[in-house]
Amino acid sequence: MSGRQVETICCLGAGYVGGPTMAMIAAKCPHLQVTVADLNIQRIAAWNSAILPIYEPGLDPVVAGVRGRNLHFTTDIHGAIAAADLIFVSVGTPTKSYGIGTGRAADLRYIEAAARVIAEVSEGHKIIVEKSTIPVRTAGAVRTILEANTTSNATFEVLSNPEFLAEGTAIQDLESPDRILIGGGNTAAGKAAVEALVAVYANWVPRERILTTNLWSSELSKLVANAFLAQRISSINSISALCEKTGADVDEVAHAIGMDSRIGPRFLKSSIGFGGSCFQKDLLNLVYLCESFGLPEVAKYWNQVLRINDWQKSRFVGKIVRAMFNTINGKRIGILGFAFKKDTNDTRESPAIRVCRDLLHERAHLAIYDPQVDPNIIYQELLGDGVAPTILESNMEICSDPYAAANKSHALVALTEWDEFQTLDMGRIYELMLKPAFVFDGRDILPAEDLKGHGFEVFTIGKG
Ligand code: UDX
Ligand code: UDX
């Protein structure tokens, strides 16, 4: 590192965040060498192959343009750390599944392991950047671990730089972010580290969109941004239930309130509930933090966002069972979509998991189609919570197109809003299905009025 200028970057964690983010940095900063390191040998092999491990529109050409030039993927974590001036930490921070804080607190073992490896390998000055979403004040713990474990004269500055990209739109979010947030310490070295990272993003992000704050504000802002986004979805989903009782239409209500510039139109699409690797994990984490800091009222307030999300999913299943004469035992049900949203192959916390498991508990036979999700992942996601391998073998099949999923089915259930579902030949689907042919649209993606014209029994969310 010459002066305060960063020349070599490494990122620990080649996931949905680390991979695309580093590809964009490499594309926008040809003068920097960027290496993404991960423990997972298959994942790194996939990043180095023609078929990338994640499906993300627009990602392939970005990677193809820089891989081997100034973007490298490796399992040599030590080598990548040793060579880097600046190290992004983008390893997973799942919800803890054991001990204190089970089911709520963030599991920081991968963050701690990363800090220990960095301390062991580093020499000279390194800037460590938290990319992973972590509980507020984690930077303090990372710094302590680094300083307690270094065996050389290495010095470290720890920054927080949360990622706000959404899957499915990652490339445009990275290319033209609403803001870049960088939190750092108030010392001269802290400020210099912040400026070094600002200089990286300033290669393509306008300076006024690069916000710098103290460390704790930056760490907390990521959790709060996700909590506010998730809260809007639970708010509109709670109103969807009231719409169904009163004859109001939730989309009309969302449109009417969204035109108020104080509210705004985005993130008001009612659905079967939010999924994805972040919202639930980060809300649980926020709730846990509030409880830990003696703020039970605040914890309860945010916990309700999660409760409404769970309720929305079970409400949807209840509607299916009731409409189909209170039994779906042995009935074939076509499932359209399994990813947690369109334009991704990610299924983490997908609402489809809960809906499909509940349908299996009712002994339905599921015929699942998703354009991007690997069938093995669907199988693994559904296993557990009372769904045994024998149930999946007898009552679940993966279909290669939506018509196969509809064939001889009693119902079609849309769980992901893939664009291709908007242009299905619904007349053909009606002919293929058993009668009465039910459609349950959990995403408001199918043309409801057309469907009724074909003869379908149609159920959507939030329409009276
Ligand atoms: C991750 C975090 O889960 C999230 O909290 C944060 O906001 C951004 O980074 P994501 O990229 O979606 O999100 O996670 P994932 O796709 O699971 O990638 C994490 C990668 O880290 C995996 O490829 C895993 O193999 C790797 N890893 C994990 C390591 O290389 N070392 C470890 O010690 C642990
Ligand atoms: C989210 C945040 O948007 C992003 O800033 C953060 O970095 C990571 O978490 P992501 O989970 O990838 O991103 O996707 P997002 O578009 O936020 O969707 C999350 C879930 O909410 C999906 O299941 C989606 O279908 C659902 N959703 C979203 C709705 O049900 N209604 C909406 O109006 C918007």
Over 60: is that where the pLDDT of 325 sits? yes
The β-bridge partners of 129 are 88, 159
If you average pLDDT over every residue of the chain, what do you get?
96
Between the CA of 276 and the centroid of ligand 2 the distance, in Å, is: 7
Cβ proximity of 419 and 402 under 8 Å: no
Sign of CA dihedral 99, 100, 106, 112: negative
Query: Is residue 449 over pLDDT 90?
Result: no
Q: Which tens digit of pLDDT belongs to each residue from 352-397?
A: 999 999 999 999 999 999 999 999 999 999 999 999 999 999 999 9
Please tell me if the CB atom of residue 275 comes closer than 6 angstroms to any atom of ligand 2. Answer: yes
Give the Cβ contact number of residue 363 at 10 Å: 14
- pTM equals 0.95
Q: Tell me what pLDDT residue 447 has.
A: 87
pLDDT digits (tens, 9 = 90+) for 152-184: 889 999 999 999 999 999 999 999 999 999 999
Distance from the alpha carbon of residue 324 to the mean position of ligand 2, in angstroms: 31
Q: How far is the CA of 14 from the centre of ligand 1 (A)?
A: 7
Report the range of poorest mean pLDDT among 31-45, 77-91, 131-145, 280-294.
131-145
Given a cut of 90, whether residue 5 has pLDDT beyond it is: no
Interval 97-153: pLDDT, tens: 999 999 999 999 999 999 999 999 999 999 999 998 888 889 999 999 999 998 888
Two structure tokens written together for 49: 């192959």
Phi then psi for 370, rounded to 5 degrees? -140, 135
Task: Specify whether the backbone of 276 is left (phi greater than 0), alpha (psi in -120 to 50) or beta.
Answer: left
Q: Measured between alpha carbons, how far is 167 from 182 in angstroms, rounded to an integer?
A: 21
| Gap between the Cα atoms of 273 and 255, Å rounded | 19
How many other β-carbons are positioned within 10 Å of the β-carbon of residue 69?
12
Q: For residues 338 and 356, what is the distance between their CA atoms, to the nearest angstrom?
A: 9
Name the phi and psi angles at 356, rounded to 5.
-65, -40
Residue 322 token pair: 């009731």
Q: Is the CB of 54 under 6 A from ligand 2?
A: no
User: Measured in whole angstroms, how far is the alpha carbon of residue 402 from the centre of its chain?
Assistant: 25
Confirm whether 11 is a catalytic residue. Answer: no
User: Has residue 1 got a pLDDT over 60?
Assistant: no
pLDDT of the residue at 2: 46
Interval 423-452 mean pLDDT? 95
Whether 275 has a pLDDT exceeding 90, the answer reads yes
CA-proximal residue: ligand 2, atom 9 (nearest): 278
Contact 345, 373 (CB under 8 A): yes
Residue of 10, 243, 278, 399 marked catalytic: 278
Residues whose CB is less than 8 angstroms from the CB of residue 208 and which lie 6 or more positions away in sequence, other chains included? none
- To test the ligand 2 pocket, which listed residue (235, 270, 278) has its Cβ within 8 A of the most ligand atoms? 278
Centre of ligand 2 from the C-alpha of residue 167, in Å: 8
Question: Percent of the chain, pLDDT > 70?
Answer: 99
How far is residue 58's CA from residue 169's CA, in Å, rounded to a whole number?
A: 9
Residue 86 reports pLDDT greater than 70: yes
Ligand 1 atom with least separation from CA of 38: 30
User: Which percentage of the chain shows pLDDT scores above 90?
Assistant: 95
